[in-house]
Amino acid sequence: MGSSRKSTAPNTRRRKVLPWAVGVGLLVAVGIAGGLVYTGKLTLPLVAQRLVQDYVPVHAPEFQVGDNSSYEWSFTQVDGGVNTYLVTHKVIDIQSDQVTMEIAKPHAKFRRQVYNRQMNIAEDSHDLQTFNPPLRNYDFPLLPGKSWNATSTLTSKDHGEEVEIGRITVSGEVLGWEHGIGRLNGVIVDGLKLKIKTVIEPTEPSRVTNEPSVSTRMQWRTEWYVPSAGRSVVARESSDWLDYKKTIRLVNFIPSKSSDTE
């Protein structure tokens, strides 16, 4: 009798441990696979990707010098008129946490903007403006339900001296995934929908908005971020001081006819 009890005890422990170990193993596997999917290092069937979407954080993309993307900017006026032109972004330098992009617009000089690796802008050479800390339009890793709120000081160079001209507060929210928003390079993609509100409080209104009587201003932005592209494929902007709405679309993205991204 004693020997039989000794032989069954280890088996009992194994039966108790095994489901726990399997569960942990599955979680680890899902986490690794999800991370690889969202960094573009692993391609899974669409159904498998959607199974992990709500549970695996989307991390910031990895930048490389030479990365190039083109966007169509469309401005819809109050009277219904639309003005459209092409804007290109190219990564020209990476130093530590700083990513410098060259922005090209029609009939305009190249402008350079400095971002951190979280895709948040820190400097704009065209307007000689600096955001400290970098303007937090994104707060990676992204996950449905996440929200953030951050304030940056806006400064501008005046005769070589940094002068504070305002404060900018960004409030963001990850609303969730939208399936089949369109095609990117011929592949149907899902997008993580973000809503971003920007509040600008100028200390020198004329230097921020060119309107001396202006005080606080607000801007609203909705966009759809696609991890496999490492960027948002569509963004819509409106504000309380401009008489038009702006839509930005990645050139090689074709919105679905049933999608809100149209």
Domain ranges of the chain: 2-51, 61-255
Q: pLDDT band at 22, cuts 50/70/90?
A: very low
Is there a contact between 220 and 237 (Cβ–Cβ < 8 Å)? yes
Q: 9 — phi, psi (to 5°)?
A: -60, -50
78-123 confidence digits (pLDDT tens)? 888 899 999 999 999 999 999 999 999 988 888 999 999 999 999 9
Name, in order, each residue with C-beta under 8 angstroms of 151's C-beta and a sequence gap of 6 or more. Answer: 167, 168, 169, 170
Name, in order, each residue with C-beta under 8 angstroms of 178's C-beta and a sequence gap of 6 or more. Answer: 190, 191, 192, 193, 224, 259, 260, 261
64-78 confidence digits (pLDDT tens)? 999 999 999 999 988
Is there a contact between 236 and 261 (Cβ–Cβ < 8 Å)? no
pLDDT for residue 199? 96
Is there a contact between 157 and 163 (Cβ–Cβ < 8 Å)? yes
pLDDT for residue 46? 59
Is there a contact between 58 and 177 (Cβ–Cβ < 8 Å)? no
208-225 confidence digits (pLDDT tens)? 555 555 578 999 999 999
pLDDT for residue 31? 52
Q: pLDDT band at 239, cuts 50/70/90?
A: very high
Residue where the block lists tokens 């490492």: 230
**Interior angle at CA 256, CA 49 and CA 221, nearest 5:** 85
Is there a contact between 152 and 134 (Cβ–Cβ < 8 Å)? yes
Burial of residue 182, with CB atoms counted within 10 A of its CB: 0-12 exposed, 13-18 middle, 19 or more buried? buried
| Nearest residue to 183 (alpha-carbon basis) of 126, 130, 109, 251 | 251
Q: How far apart are CA 84 and CA 104, in angstroms?
A: 14
Q: How far apart are CA 181 and CA 202, in angstroms?
A: 37
Run of H or E residues at 26: helix 2-38
pLDDT for residue 259? 82
Q: Which CATH architecture describes the domain 61-255?
A: Beta Barrel (2.40)
Is there a contact between 133 and 152 (Cβ–Cβ < 8 Å)? yes
Q: How far apart are CA 143 and CA 177, in angstroms?
A: 9
Is there a contact between 142 and 220 (Cβ–Cβ < 8 Å)? no
pLDDT for residue 208? 56
